[in-house]
Structure 1
């Protein structure tokens, strides 16, 4: 699945926070505190997965913007690329 520019930036921002939580969860899990470590890993995974799956009212302006940009900027057709190569 392709991500738009805004979705890619949003995913990068989420990963900035989710990766340290996940790493701390793994370290905690391996040091013997299985419940806390496993819980932190689950939280890190949910930080990445839930925003991609849930649509909130705050997401609607971004979705509209993605559609407008997608309609305004079209990818070239394969026929156009073939003509340019000749």
Structure 2
């Protein structure tokens, strides 16, 4: 998955919040509280993974624009 400049900045901002949650979850897990530590690790992973797979309200105009451009502009066939 290739990220543009904005995607990279968004990932970095997400990691700023997800890494402390993950580290605390790992410490809690190693201290013997499996449910809380595992839950916090799951939350940290979901914080990073879900934005890439869910469609947000800001993604809808871009998807509509791509579909409109795809219908209007045809790519030339390679007949060489």
Give the TM interval when normalised to the shorter protein: 0.7 to 0.9
Matching residue of 1:12: 12
2-side partners of 1:5 and 1:44: how far apart? 23
Matching residue of 1:73: none
Aligned length: 64
State which drifts further: 51-60 or 1-10: 51-60
**TM-score in terms of structure 2 length:** 0.73
Structure 2: which 5+ runs fail to align?
Answer: 67-80
Cα-Cα RMSD: 1.5
Structure 1: which 5+ runs fail to align?
Answer: 68-86
2-side partners of 1:27 and 1:19: how far apart? 12
